[in-house]
Structure 1
Amino acid sequence: MTQRIYLDWNATTPLRPEARAAMIAAMDLGGNPSSVHAEGRAARALVERARAQVAVAVGCKPAEVVFTSCATEAAAVLRGFASVRVDATAHDCLWSQAREGGGQAVLGWGYANNETGVITEAPAHEGAVMLDIVQAVGKVPFSFAWSGAEMAIVSAHKFGGPKGVGALIVRDGFEVPALLTGGGQEMGRRAGTENIIGIAGMGAAAEAAQRDLEAGVWDRVGEFRNILETALSSGTNNTISVGKGGPRLPNTLCLIAPGWKGETQVMAMDLAGFAVSAGSACSSGKVRASRVLKAMGFDEGLAAQAIRISLGPETTKDEVERFADVWLAQYRKALARAA
């Protein structure tokens, strides 16, 4: 059986060995982080170490990190604000919070788009700003401290951590409603006993991701993405590379292939041994044109003919070249059938 090639790193990333080791070690800790005895203090020390590791990767203070079950839960803090305006290309976890009302206004903004990789700074805004930095952490330089935002959301499994753990970043001194009320954990912002196994994995992954970023690992990924982009674009004369020429994540290629539906592309490439997607993993199971691409000005037809190819540090030049060869052959067949 031919070995499969995974090119859907924006959906989720393989678990880093550092995260796996940290999680296994955390399983042996029996204490509750809220307990004051030695066992509890050991568990608390693990949580606080992870909080500091995430803070370094995000560019914030450790006390500004609130652990959650995922980025979607972190985004739910917006429910506590009466007026929420959301960028038209933002992820659904932000988009679903949009509402008009009185009181303090919040702008929800996708810093790095998960479907296209396009990076956009939030505009000047009267009120607070929440940034979705889920795809940016560990891939591009970013610092919450200089972002100007009051809040941000992060997800561990996007940078090599486990699924089911994330964080809400809240600027020191900015008041937000509690995500969950109860025992007062996470500085009163998210009650419930902390998931120390997941948190340990998130912290270790954040530290490793920051180390990779500083070592230039993603520069090489960007070179491979560009090789793939050139091959796919030069092989036909009608593909559209979304966001080309502007600031983008180094690993992401959103490609529109006129005449070939995105869902059909995904299935064809899956059968050929490649994992790619037709958009956000949270919504690609729904057969519909990309809301993000329509918001960017593409019509319904073109928006439905896009795929997202996202590379990672383990992707090789040979893999992207093999993908290009197979994809181009499949596209030519699709166009011939439609002729």
Structure 2
Amino acid sequence: MAATFLRRAKPVLALLAAIFVLLAAPPAAHADPDEEGASKKLRTALESAVKGHVEAKQKLAASKKRQGQLKTTLAQAKGQSAQLTGRVGEIANRSYRQGRLGAMTMLLNTGSSDEFMDRMIRLDQMAQVDSHTLAGYRDALTTAEKAGTAIELEIKEQQKQVTVMAKQKEQAETALIASGGGTLTSGFGNGKSPKAKAAPRNGNGELPGESCSADDPTTTGCITPRLLNALQQSRAIGFKRHTSCFAQRASGGEHPQGKACDFSAAPGGFENVDASGDDRTYGNNLAAYLVDNADRLGVMYVIWYREIWLPGSGWRSYSGSGGPAAAHTNHVHLSIL
């Protein structure tokens, strides 16, 4: 009887054992990346350098725009003064030939009071025209002189901002080298990605300051409107795999500020393995899309597969200490300004 019971129970016991093994086995590591392998010092240095670079680049662009407007003003003023030069010469010659006595003689040599009044009116009209011409000529010369001086100042401003950009670029690369990376790489992206909808900018072309005020569709937290735009734009062209943006992390960074998203390479989530095959291609294409649209989206940096992209520096090697999450070989990291 006991033997019969044991024989019949074997399949049930085997099934229960299999279920126990499945329940006891660790999941396929679909947890969000926690620490991403970068020290607080590195992140602070990169954020400072990138923001400084972008600010200098915006000031440089604004200065070049002003210089272009000033050149137009200068050309118009020179053209106006050139047109008036002949008339000013005529006025000067007439004044030299006639002088005040000539005008008085002209008035006195009249046969009647009507003729006197007629000549007096014509002389007054001529004086008004001469005065207007001379004032216009003087204004044109003054405008041209001021525009020329302003252009010289803009050139100096541009030289200053170019120097600042170079210094910020050096700062970022020095920080990367100190952390074990920083080598120039081939990277991802060739400028052929679809154009993203640009994030709103101020009238002077600068990105406005934003708070964590928009609902994060990937978590229960918040993100900035600019990051939400980047997320929506990437999803609109097909990058819809698991993504996590807002996160409270002891190490700080952009996630707690609502300025960063992690895009998993695998469809199901953040697997604790290096992406390969289709997953690697997906990450490559996403990284390229974000970088190709960096200016439109307001990208601060992108990290993917042991490489980091920074404005001004391009793609550089990135050394994250740890597993796939730290090396960013299982997800693409996006930080927004």
TM-score when scaled to structure 2?
0.29
Report which of the two structures shows the higher radius of gyration computed on alpha carbons: 2
* Larger helix fraction of residues: 2
Name the TM-score, length of structure 1 as normaliser. 0.29
